[in-house]
């Protein structure tokens, strides 16, 4: 007669486990026989939600396959459903469970930084944790998008982009000044007040206030022309023309603030989420995410799972447009509001 394998964990006793559960909010982790977390879930009512899992509520093949692997369930009680949502996404990120929708994205987004705390500020590319000093604009969809924007800024506003060590040790202007991409503050060819005006113009543009900036430049151009400073007037004219071209190509009809647009498509085990970034009414890029998801995941569930994972450690825009209705829209809205710390 075959004897039981002592190394094989016993089957999970769901009825006994359910009898011990609270009806408070919380998070649960399902573990298989090897102690691996295979699913993380949240619940407004832990007892009711887990009874649904182990009763007859989950009848799909993927749910039955998951439940058949469960040998242990660990529960963490939280004060609120929002706390449960936050903890759930932290655990999903840590464990990457097989049966969860899992956003695998370790790439931090690039920003444009203006070092406004310096006497002659620098405009630069930045990725990673944002420094407390200076102004930061983004996120941009890719490093390439940032570099293209930096080229435009350098051409239009001529604010320095060199490293501080390079700036501090110059005795004569560099090549960027010779090709009219910098005003050479490193060797005193521009005073701090005039340079500060160029920096302020750069910030206005990055804030999406291009129309206001163009209005200011027109006034400066007219004044320079009246004072017969024709070279300076020509520079303002060229700036205005460049800005009008850029604004015409980037403007999004009917939008003036910060928003992300999230759309998704699923096919079997394949899932893709596309995020479009609009900042201050300007389209700054988009990005596709390919997610690990169980077979035949509902698109609404996919969007709802994606949002907390995505915005857990990213800035939240003022507005979010999604392709599908969210089953727990109020909870997701509360989570985003707290994450954004918007009034």
How far is Cα of residue 175 from the mean position of the Cα atoms in its chain? Answer: 36
**Is 19 domain-assigned?**
yes
Residues 131 and 177 in one domain: yes
Find the length of the chain: 343
Separation between Cα atoms, residue 70 and residue 50, nearest integer Å: 12
Q: Which domain, by its residues, includes 123?
A: 110-207
Residues 25 and 58 in one domain: yes
Look-up of token digits 């759309």: 263
Residues 74 and 161 in one domain: no
Tell me if 73 sits within 8 A of 31, measured CB to CB. yes
Residues 88 and 127 in one domain: no
pLDDT at 2: 45
Residues 91 and 136 in one domain: no
**Is 242 domain-assigned?**
no
How, if at all, do strands 319-322 and 282-292 pair?
Answer: unpaired
pLDDT at 59: 60
Per-residue pLDDT of the chain in tens (343 residues, 90 and over written 9): 444 444 555 678 888 999 999 999 999 999 999 999 999 999 999 999 999 888 765 566 777 888 889 999 999 999 888 888 888 888 888 888 988 887 766 456 788 899 999 999 999 999 877 777 889 887 776 788 788 889 888 888 989 999 999 999 999 999 999 998 999 999 999 999 999 999 999 998 888 787 888 888 899 899 888 888 888 888 888 888 888 877 665 555 445 578 899 999 877 767 888 898 887 777 777 788 877 777 767 889 889 989 998 888 788 888 899 999 998 899 999 889 888 774 4
pLDDT at 26: 92
Residues 78 and 149 in one domain: no
Q: Which one, of 313, 303, 308, lies nearest residue 85 by Cα? A: 308
Query: Residue 85 belongs to a domain with what CATH number?
Result: 3.40.1440.10
Residues 18 and 64 in one domain: yes
* Interval 200-216: pLDDT, tens: 999 988 887 878 888 88
Q: Which of 173, 188, 207 is the last residue of a domain?
A: 207
Residues 174 and 127 in one domain: yes
Look-up of token digits 């407004």: 44
Number of domains in the chain: 3
SS3 337: helix
**Is 191 domain-assigned?**
yes
State the DSSP code for 115.
-
Residues 119 and 196 in one domain: yes
Residues 90 and 114 in one domain: no
88 membership: H or E segment, kind and range? helix 81-95
Residues 115 and 200 in one domain: yes
Tell me if 87 sits within 8 A of 78, measured CB to CB. yes
Residues 84 and 36 in one domain: yes
pLDDT at 71: 93
């Amino acid at each position: 007669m075959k004897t039981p394998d002592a190394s094989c964990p016993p089957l999970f006793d769901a009825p006994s486990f359910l009898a011990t559960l609270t009806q408070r909010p919380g998070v649960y982790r399902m573990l298989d026989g090897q102690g691996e977390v295979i699913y993380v879930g949240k619940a407004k009512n832990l007892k009711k939600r887990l009874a649904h899992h182990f009763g007859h509520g989950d009848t799909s093949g993927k749910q039955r396959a998951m439940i058949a692997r469960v040998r242990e369930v660990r529960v963490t009680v939280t004060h609120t459903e929002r706390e449960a949502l936050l903890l759930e996404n932290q655990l999903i990120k840590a464990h990457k469970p097989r049966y969860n929708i899992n956003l695998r994205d370790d790439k931090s987004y690039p920003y444009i930084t203006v070092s406004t705390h310096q006497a002659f500020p620098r405009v630069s590319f930045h990725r990673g944790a944002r420094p407390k000093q200076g102004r930061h604009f983004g996120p941009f969809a890719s490093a390439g998008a940032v570099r293209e924007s930096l080229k435009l800024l350098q051409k239009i506003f001529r604010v320095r982009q060199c490293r501080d060590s390079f700036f501090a040790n110059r005795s004569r202007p560099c090549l960027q000044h010779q090709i009219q991409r910098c005003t050479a503050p490193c060797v005193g060819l521009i005073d701090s007040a005039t340079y500060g005006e160029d920096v302020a113009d750069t910030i206005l543009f990055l804030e999406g206030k291009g129309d206001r900036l163009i209005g200011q430049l027109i006034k400066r151009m007219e004044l320079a022309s009246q004072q017969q400073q024709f070279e300076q007037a020509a520079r303002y004219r060229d700036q205005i023309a460049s800005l009008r071209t850029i604004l015409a190509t980037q403007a999004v009809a009917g939008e003036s603030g910060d928003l992300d647009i999230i759309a998704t498509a699923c096919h079997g085990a394949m899932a893709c989420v596309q995020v479009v970034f609009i900042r201050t009414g300007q389209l700054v890029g988009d990005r596709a995410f390919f997610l690990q998801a169980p077979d035949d995941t509902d698109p609404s569930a996919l969007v709802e799972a994606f949002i907390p994972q995505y915005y857990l450690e990213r800035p939240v825009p003022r507005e979010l447009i999604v392709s599908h209705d969210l089953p727990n829209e109020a909870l997701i809205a509360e989570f985003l509001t707290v994450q954004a710390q918007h009034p």
